[in-house]
């Protein structure tokens, strides 16, 4: 429960690809991905070097080149003003964003993630959206998300080794 030590309702662990927490008594536990076009519905779109690699959070999307995972730190959750079932991630002022912006939690699509969090189960996205919307409607404080990388970094090393053996 590393994210609770950061005072957050939810935690996204880049390394373990997990989104966990609780908002208003509703538990969230999901597989989620970030960066490198992870979560794309297009076969072969994912860049396995960028996807879920906490060392490459500063890589910004440029043209067709994918971006890295979400910058680590704290974010406030807000419903997106234009897109249904999207949740905006508003970075805390002390996050070192390295020129990156426009992050969200959203479902899978053709592009996938260039830094957004993409739960692999769309029902999780809809649930999160409804919980955030309920908080907004009640005037209560917005939920907080902590993004971090904790765990077995050997998993990342093995994933990259497997990719390089097939490239």
Give residue 37's domain range.
2-166
Number of domains in the chain: 1
pLDDT in tens, 93-143: 999 999 999 999 999 999 999 999 999 999 999 999 999 999 999 999 999
Give dist(CA 144, CA 136) in Å, integer. Answer: 13
- Nearest alpha-carbon partner for 71 in 44, 45, 99, 49: 99
pTM for this predicted structure = 0.91
Closest CA to 8 of 143, 127, 133: 143
Q: What is the CATH number of the domain that holds 52?
A: 2.40.440
């Amino acid at each position: 429960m590393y994210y609770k030590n950061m005072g957050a309702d939810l935690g996204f662990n880049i390394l373990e690809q997990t989104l966990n927490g609780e908002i208003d008594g509703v538990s969230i536990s999901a597989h989620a991905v970030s960066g490198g076009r992870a979560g794309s519905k297009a076969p072969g779109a994912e860049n396995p070097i960028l996807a879920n690699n906490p060392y490459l959070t500063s890589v910004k999307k440029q043209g067709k080149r994918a971006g890295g995972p979400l910058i680590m730190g704290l974010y406030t959750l807000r419903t997106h003003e234009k897109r249904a079932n999207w949740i905006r991630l508003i970075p805390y002022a002390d996050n070192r964003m390295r020129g990156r912006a426009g992050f969200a939690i959203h479902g899978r699509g053709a592009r996938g993630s260039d830094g957004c969090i993409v739960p692999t189960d769309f029902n999780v996205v809809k649930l999160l959206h409804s919980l955030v919307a309920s908080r907004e409607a009640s005037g209560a404080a917005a939920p907080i998300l902590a993004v971090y990388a904790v765990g077995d970094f050997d998993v990342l090393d093995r994933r990259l080794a497997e990719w390089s053996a097939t490239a």
